Amino acid sequence: MNQTATRIPAAEYTAIIKPKSERGSARSLPGVILVLQPATVEESDQVFSFSSWRFLRESLRVFGLASAKELDNADVRVSTGKQPYMFSKRRWEAPLIEAIYGNCDEP
Protein backbone atom coordinates (compact mmCIF):
# COMPACT_ATOMS: atom_id res chain seq x y z
CA MET A 1 0.00 0.00 0.00
CA ASN A 2 1.57 3.23 -1.18
CA GLN A 3 -0.41 6.06 0.35
CA THR A 4 0.80 9.58 1.04
CA ALA A 5 -1.46 11.71 3.19
CA THR A 6 -2.07 15.12 1.72
CA ARG A 7 -2.63 17.68 4.42
CA ILE A 8 -4.88 20.59 3.68
CA PRO A 9 -4.32 24.03 5.18
CA ALA A 10 -6.65 25.66 7.64
CA ALA A 11 -8.86 27.89 5.54
CA GLU A 12 -12.40 28.57 4.45
CA TYR A 13 -14.06 25.62 2.74
CA THR A 14 -17.53 24.69 1.63
CA ALA A 15 -18.40 21.25 2.98
CA ILE A 16 -20.65 19.00 0.94
CA ILE A 17 -21.96 15.65 2.14
CA LYS A 18 -23.00 13.10 -0.46
CA PRO A 19 -24.10 9.47 -0.30
CA LYS A 20 -21.53 6.99 -1.55
CA SER A 21 -22.55 5.60 -4.90
CA GLU A 22 -22.08 1.89 -4.29
CA ARG A 23 -24.20 -0.55 -6.19
CA GLY A 24 -25.51 -3.78 -4.77
CA SER A 25 -25.54 -2.71 -1.11
CA ALA A 26 -29.16 -1.57 -0.78
CA ARG A 27 -29.77 -3.50 2.45
CA SER A 28 -27.23 -1.73 4.61
CA LEU A 29 -27.14 1.99 5.26
CA PRO A 30 -24.91 3.58 2.67
CA GLY A 31 -21.73 5.33 3.64
CA VAL A 32 -21.17 8.99 2.93
CA ILE A 33 -18.43 11.17 1.61
CA LEU A 34 -17.44 14.61 2.83
CA VAL A 35 -16.09 16.96 0.16
CA LEU A 36 -14.22 20.07 1.23
CA GLN A 37 -14.14 22.65 -1.53
CA PRO A 38 -11.53 25.39 -0.99
CA ALA A 39 -12.38 29.04 -1.50
CA THR A 40 -9.64 29.34 -4.13
CA VAL A 41 -9.92 27.45 -7.39
CA GLU A 42 -6.19 26.73 -7.50
CA GLU A 43 -6.55 24.14 -4.75
CA SER A 44 -8.24 20.81 -5.35
CA ASP A 45 -11.21 19.41 -3.44
CA GLN A 46 -10.48 17.05 -0.58
CA VAL A 47 -12.72 13.99 -0.30
CA PHE A 48 -13.15 11.93 2.88
CA SER A 49 -15.02 8.65 3.09
CA PHE A 50 -17.05 7.68 6.16
CA SER A 51 -18.69 4.33 6.80
CA SER A 52 -21.95 5.81 8.04
CA TRP A 53 -23.91 9.02 8.10
CA ARG A 54 -24.42 8.66 11.84
CA PHE A 55 -20.67 8.60 12.48
CA LEU A 56 -20.01 11.65 10.31
CA ARG A 57 -23.04 13.46 11.73
CA GLU A 58 -21.89 13.03 15.32
CA SER A 59 -18.37 14.11 14.39
CA LEU A 60 -19.62 17.28 12.73
CA ARG A 61 -21.83 18.03 15.70
CA VAL A 62 -19.03 17.54 18.20
CA PHE A 63 -16.73 19.74 16.14
CA GLY A 64 -19.40 22.46 16.06
CA LEU A 65 -19.57 22.60 12.27
CA ALA A 66 -23.33 22.36 12.14
CA SER A 67 -26.25 22.66 14.49
CA ALA A 68 -28.46 19.69 15.31
CA LYS A 69 -31.24 21.35 13.28
CA GLU A 70 -29.03 21.62 10.19
CA LEU A 71 -27.91 18.03 10.56
CA ASP A 72 -31.43 16.71 11.10
CA ASN A 73 -32.45 18.28 7.81
CA ALA A 74 -29.36 16.90 6.12
CA ASP A 75 -30.08 13.42 7.47
CA VAL A 76 -33.21 13.09 5.35
CA ARG A 77 -31.57 14.30 2.18
CA VAL A 78 -28.44 12.20 2.58
CA SER A 79 -30.41 9.06 3.47
CA THR A 80 -32.65 9.32 0.42
CA GLY A 81 -29.80 10.35 -1.82
CA LYS A 82 -31.97 12.99 -3.51
CA GLN A 83 -29.71 15.98 -2.94
CA PRO A 84 -26.30 16.37 -1.35
CA TYR A 85 -26.23 18.57 1.73
CA MET A 86 -24.04 21.65 1.63
CA PHE A 87 -22.82 23.61 4.62
CA SER A 88 -22.33 27.31 4.32
CA LYS A 89 -18.70 28.29 3.97
CA ARG A 90 -16.90 27.89 7.27
CA ARG A 91 -13.36 28.12 8.44
CA TRP A 92 -11.88 24.69 9.05
CA GLU A 93 -8.96 24.86 11.43
CA ALA A 94 -5.95 22.55 11.45
CA PRO A 95 -6.95 20.47 14.53
CA LEU A 96 -10.34 19.77 12.95
CA ILE A 97 -8.78 18.78 9.66
CA GLU A 98 -6.41 16.45 11.51
CA ALA A 99 -9.38 14.91 13.34
CA ILE A 100 -11.15 14.27 10.06
CA TYR A 101 -8.07 12.52 8.68
CA GLY A 102 -7.92 10.42 11.84
CA ASN A 103 -11.60 9.41 11.72
CA CYS A 104 -12.27 8.86 8.04
CA ASP A 105 -12.30 5.38 6.54
CA GLU A 106 -9.10 3.99 5.13
CA PRO A 107 -9.33 3.40 1.35
Whether residue 4 lies inside any domain: the answer is: no
Q: Is residue 24 part of a domain?
A: no
The residue ranking higher by pLDDT, 93 or 22, is: 93
C-alpha distance from residue 68 to each of 56, 58, 85, 90 (Å) = 13, 9, 14, 16
Q: Is 0.85 topped by the overall pTM?
A: no
The answer to whether position 21 is within a domain reads no
Residue 11 lies in a domain: no
Residue 67 sits in which domain range? 29-103
Domain annotation covers residue 9: no
In a domain, 65, yes or no: yes
Where residue 26 falls among pLDDT bands split at 50, 70, 90?
low
Number of domains in the chain: 1
Whether 2 shows a pLDDT value over 50: the answer reads no
For residue 105, the 8-state DSSP code is P
Whether 71 maps to a domain, the answer reads yes
Is 96 a domain residue? Answer: yes
Give the Å distances, CA to CA, from 80 to 6, 61, 64, 83.
Answer: 31, 21, 24, 8
Q: What is the dihedral of CA 65, 71, 73, 77, to 10 degrees?
A: 100
Average pLDDT, the chain: 79
